[in-house]
Amino acid sequence: MAGKSNKGRSKRGSRNASNSSETLISFDVPGKDISRASESSQVNTSDVPAVSETNSSNIDAKEPETANAATQVKQGDLQLFPMSVKTQSGEKLELQLNPGDSVMDIRQFLLDAPETCFITCYDLSLHTKDDSTYHLEDYNEISEVADITTGGCSLEMVPALYDDRSIRAHVHRTRELFSLSALHASLSTSLALQNELAQNKAATLGDTPKTEVPELDGLGYMEDVTGSLGNLLTSSSKEIKCVESIVFSSFNPPPTYRKLVGDLIYLDVITLEGNKFCITGTTEMFYVNSSTGNTLDPRPSKTTSEATTLVALLQKISSKFKKAFREILERRTSAHPFENVQSLLPPNSWLDLYPVPDHKRDSARAEDALTLSYGSELIGMQRDWNEELQSCREFPHTTPQERVFRDRALYKVSSDFVDAAISGAVGVISRCIPPINPTDPECFHMYVHNNIFFSFAVDADLELVTKKGADSNSKIGSRSSMHSSSEKTSYSPSDGGSGVPNGEKCDGSCSHDHNNVMEPTPDIPAETQLAESEQATYASANNDLKGTKAYQEADVSGLYSLAMAIIDYRGHRVVAQSVLPGILQGDKSDSLLYGSVDNGKKICWKEDFHSKVLEAAKRLHLKEHLVLDGSGNVCKLAAPVECKGIVGSDDRHYLLDLMRVTPRDANYTCPGSRYCILRPELITAFCQAQAAETSKCINSSSQAVADVTTDSEQVAAVDKQDLTKEERTEDVKEPASISTEITEPYEEILFNPNVLTEFKLAGSDEEIAADEANVRKVSLYLTDVVLPKFIQDLCTLEVSPMDGQTLTEALHAHGINVRYLGKVADRTKHLPHLLDLCTNEIVVRSAKHILKDVLRDTEDQDLALALSHFLNCLFGSCQGLGAKLAANSVQSRNPKKDHAGHQSSGKLSRGQSRWKGRGQSSKMNQPSYMNISSEALWSDIQEFARLKYKFELPEDARSRVAKVSVIRNLCQKVGITTAARKYDLSSSTPFQTSDVLDVRPVVKHSVPVCSEAKELIETGKLQLAEGMLSEAYTLFSEAFSMLQQVTGPMHREVANCCRYLAMVLYHAGDMAGAIIQQHKELIINERCLGLDHPDTAHSYGNMALFYHGLNQTELALQHMSRALLLLSLSSGPDHPDVAATFINVAMMYQDIGNMNTALRYLQEALKKNERLLGKEHIQTAVCYHALAIACNCMGAFKLSHQHEKKTYDILVKQLGEDDSRTRDSQNWMKTFKMRELQMNAQKQKDQASNAASAQKAIDMLKAHPDLIHAFQAAAGGSGSSGASVNKSLNTAIMGENIPRGRGTDERAARAAAEVRKKAAARGLLIRPHGVPVQALPPLTQLLNIINSGMTPETVENGEVNRVNGEANGHPSSDLVDTQQDQSTPGQDRVPVGLGKSLAPLDSKKQKSKPKHVA
């Protein structure tokens, strides 16, 4: 919403400026921008504070203009106008409103404001400057009532009368305010507040800030991932108690004679002081009545306390409540505003607090749970979801504001529908809702609850399939007719009610599920037929959801589709749909106007319906074509044959059963793959590639198809340095809007959705052959062009998925179905992290299907035991719990399935024994989970992987899988919540029954997004890539404002806007503004994607780099520690992004002078990249360049040059000599070489000067022999060392014939020569050539020699060490003894290019203080 409070803004402004931050470099260190990216990150970071302070950066040539533009936009792109609001208590609030804001927006703001958050029942009046007063309706826009741009307008909150519903809502809202559980405080906010408090305390006490920055434990997370699970979750906010209890009184409901005078509700309240009150809620107010004991006395008490709100009344009767409630409001106000906003569809968390918090009494919670259970809602309060949804679609949408209003209504209704569908599906599976057709076979039961239609994903006739081994697809296709006979309806809601795999996105990730019979044989076992049938059903549901979403986005006037959601819970799959008007009231034989309900035997057709379907088909690249029905009649269709066009009782035209809105995949045409269809992203990319090819041919530019296929991925791939990997994944979709103008002038490619199916096509043979050729061509395009390009992007890190979810999203963004995951794994075996990622995902998806089958056959009371046993079998070494183990692990579950098929048609899909009790045969069998063992489970997983993905799991897959990542992925897909404790995954049974805390529903939905805002974002990204910051900022701001109005702040697209805004503001030099936007993105990602989502990890990394740019390194490292923790959970320690994060951590330590830690992280990054990517990968070159910069900071220019030479060699091989990054690396080599020569020359000059000074001192001693005796006397009787000094002095003065430079210790000299020889062989120099090894000490040092009893050799070595230390930027330290210094450099310095650990460097820095000879 546009409105904002000045109070809130002033309170939060200063904190947010220091609270959040954006990237100094790309957090992912993209592979292509190696030299510039790493140079800016490792070298120039210290310059950033000056940029932010003076706002005069040279980042971009357009910066002054863009900075001004950013400032202008920030001040009022939304054209906000001040308006005061008079509350019921007489206080005045100041709002900033936009004329386009609705009254609902104002109500929402007042609900969030501390002064008015407890007021729920009021009307709003608008007073204008001409003294006119207007009553505002909820759906009014301000501009419709009065012009607020002229000023002088004000709002007033006028108390309204309560009714039964509003007073209950008021009590519910009041209880909500008493709890802080809804406040989701981000760790980033907490860290920033702690840092601010520490700085303020130090400033108050006059203390100097700490210079020591503690070392983060990031490497520890990588070494012990399981031990870090407990660090993910922070304990929830400590509750502040306001009242002992506040419950509905047992006096309810009010007697009739009291209702007639306005009584609505009675409440029993016990205050913190221990006083008990009975409160009456009337239509006008709340007051304390005189009731005591068991008799109602409705008269006001003698104290006559009354108020229009419950909070105001409690403040009057309890001083402790008043104080505690003030603390709660202060806590809420101090939080970031986004932390108070509820997410409509929050993600499931796979971890929960450990130890499990105590479950305490809460009467309010108990009342809510009981009163909101299934079946207790009033009939009048049920929502007509279909009417709401279709009415919203009919809203006008000609102007931008009308489109925003329409999109907001659609988003809200759809989100509410999904929420209600989840609740209803849980009720259906939990047997709380009775079926509407109880006399039908149980597998065909259907349910209606809260005006939502529920059906299970079931197979058509399992008994027939089992006995005859018939083709499951024909049975599935004929489900509609069976449902028609049993349900008396002409459409089949359960046709879309076929299930989908847990936890996957609805866009076709499950198409792989029915790919398990790729090479059919006539004697396929019945069990395989069953599994195939089940998976095909899953695919049809997934495809139906995708098709519904596609037609919604096509948005053809007069053509409607139902609201739909798919819910997976406890192994079951339920499809929820809004109820088609009139379908449950009886059989309307004339309601079917289009398509077929009997698998093409009879096809209906109407001209007006066909015209609407044809308009949608053009937008979906579908072709108008001819088909034959069972009688040989020719019909003209523009949709799949099995779709159903129905006219509802509201006279709207509905299109249902949209399982195939894209063509069938020609690479999968065997039986069992009917629903293997291509993805819409692939169709779009193919059409654009063909249009581009046609354009080039017309322009007489011959170019192969393969050369233009990358257009769809490269349009927005510019400026990779600023775009994180998830953005690059999204950018593939950009051409959809960009190249529409390209495709228009040429004939658009359209596909026949019914080719390669069992349906008979009419028309000429040439036309049919051409249609088939088109489909085969796009299928070939997938395997020959898109898939190799995707694998290339994976190898070059253009696309870098972190876990199974981001891998799936990346595949889908490129138009690749997940069923091709095995091909991706086969072609990336040379890169360990990609092979592991694909293998882990295949293992998880295979295990998920087995686990769902187990859960369907498990009683409620055994769920925790079954899940813990399954996890132990998967990650430990466990035998079956039953008395008998399956002899054949591959067939371990088949006897159950086979028996189920003969026993009942619903057993396999529904776990029928859970519903009506087990039959005699079932009683003899144990639950299926008791028969699972580790060997059997892994054998089944390998078989699933072979059948579904055509991938042979490695023999050591069981030991190689990243166990924590697999646990996380599996739990998210199935909805399992486990305890966040350290698990011993090396033991045979790492999980206990008590570790399984919850099983939650996993949902797929088609909630619409604001397409106009997405187009603005895509255009803004192009402007940003071209360096047009002002234009990009305007576009992103407009998109942000639009999305805020449509979806509210808690949405993934809003987070994307915030990230791009932060990026633009950073480049414009506005660091404070960038920090605020980046912090918003982090909070949204935590709330909408999850605490450990890879995007959340990248947000923390970007925040860390921003804080480092502001010289708040300790705060930056705390954020980096969190980023490394999240990365260790999602991807595990072996991933290039972890290495890139290590480079950024090293940069921070390097800039504060902690070179030991910096070098250790750089070496760890180098080891990871060399192992994961190879020694000649560009990311490896990034590590070498970072090491060169670090050595440069230490003054080790020789090492810098050698590391940079490695960088240069890799870049020449990968990019060529003419690439700008290669030339940059060459310039760095020259710089390092020049600095090395300068340092050597300076050393020669210094040592020559020292030699001259020493000669003068010796001449003076020769001229004054009495001084020698004084020196010797000062040295005292120091024993052997004194004699050594005496001999050394005599040698120097008297000129004894001892080789110059040898010193007094022959063993030390020989050891030094040996070390020097070895170092030269390894490319290292102990001392520069051409410089005297030992110059005689000057007079002052001679005095030190005598006083300390040291030899000249020792002093000389100490001097060299001091010079080196100062060259490295460190002050000279105490001297060390000869043997120590001469042996250390050659042994401890890491050879160039070797990724060995730098632990010896740490020990070198931390050696004990010098050994002084007595």
Among 379, 378, 32, 59, smallest CA distance to 1029 is for 59
pLDDT at residue 72 above 80? no
Look at 221-235, 437-451, 1170-1184 and tell me which has the smallest mean pLDDT: 221-235
Write down the pLDDT at residue 925.
60
Where does 621-734 have alpha helices with state H? 680-698, 705-708, 711-714, 725-731
- When mean pLDDT is compared over 109-113, 1299-1303, 1364-1368, the highest value belongs to 109-113
Write down the pLDDT at residue 148.
82
β-partners of residue 125 are 135, 156
pLDDT at residue 1190 above 60? yes
Average pLDDT for the chain: 75
Mean pLDDT of 278-299: 92
Question: In this structure, what DSSP letter does residue 141 have?
Answer: B
Write down the pLDDT at residue 531.
43
Write down the pLDDT at residue 374.
59
Question: For 954, what's the count of Cα atoms within 13 Å in the CB-facing half-sphere?
Answer: 15
Q: Which helix (H) or strand (E) holds 628?
A: strand 625-628
pLDDT at residue 1031 above 80? yes
Contact by Cβ (8 Å): 973, 347: no
Residues in CB range of 702: below 8 A, 6 or more apart? 696
Report the amino acid identity of residue 774.
N
pLDDT at residue 1135 above 90? yes
Give the span between the Cα atoms of 1055 and 1073, in whole angstroms.
Answer: 15
Report the amino acid identity of residue 1265.
P
Residues in the chain: 1414
The 3-state secondary structure of 1125-1158, one letter per residue: HHHHHHCCCCCHHHHHHHHHHHHHHHHCCCHHHH
Give the span between the Cα atoms of 1388 and 1400, in whole angstroms.
Answer: 6
pLDDT at residue 1324 above 90? no
- When mean pLDDT is compared over 397-406, 553-562, 1110-1119, 1245-1254, the highest value belongs to 553-562
Residue that has been written with the tokens 């079931």 in this structure: 458
Give the span between the Cα atoms of 1330 and 1379, in whole angstroms.
Answer: 23
At residue 499, φ and ψ (nearest 5 deg) are -80, 170
- When mean pLDDT is compared over 184-198, 461-475, 1047-1061, 1385-1399, the highest value belongs to 1047-1061
Write down the pLDDT at residue 210.
52
At residue 174, φ and ψ (nearest 5 deg) are -60, -45
Summarised one tens digit per residue, pLDDT across range 1191-1234 is: 999 889 999 999 999 999 999 999 999 999 999 999 999 999 99
For the beta carbon of residue 690, count every other beta carbon within 10 angstroms. Answer: 22
For the beta carbon of residue 1238, count every other beta carbon within 10 angstroms. Answer: 11
Summarised one tens digit per residue, pLDDT across range 474-521 is: 333 333 333 333 333 333 433 333 333 333 333 333 333 333 333 333
- Of the pLDDT bands very low, low, confident and very high (cuts 50, 70, 90), residue 924 is very low
Summarised one tens digit per residue, pLDDT across range 522-543 is: 344 444 444 445 444 777 888 9
Tokens for 1317, please give them: 């020889």
Q: Please, what is the angle between helix 1052-1067 and helix 1071-1088, to 10°? A: 160
Mean pLDDT of 559-563: 94
Report the amino acid identity of residue 1377.
D
pLDDT at residue 1069 above 90? no
Mean pLDDT of 1288-1315: 43
For residue 436, CA distances in Å to 461, 649, 708, 911 come to 20, 20, 55, 20
pLDDT above 70: percentage of residues in the chain: 69
Give the span between the Cα atoms of 70 and 73, in whole angstroms.
Answer: 5
Write down the pLDDT at residue 48.
31
CA angle (310, 315, 317) in 5-degree steps: 95
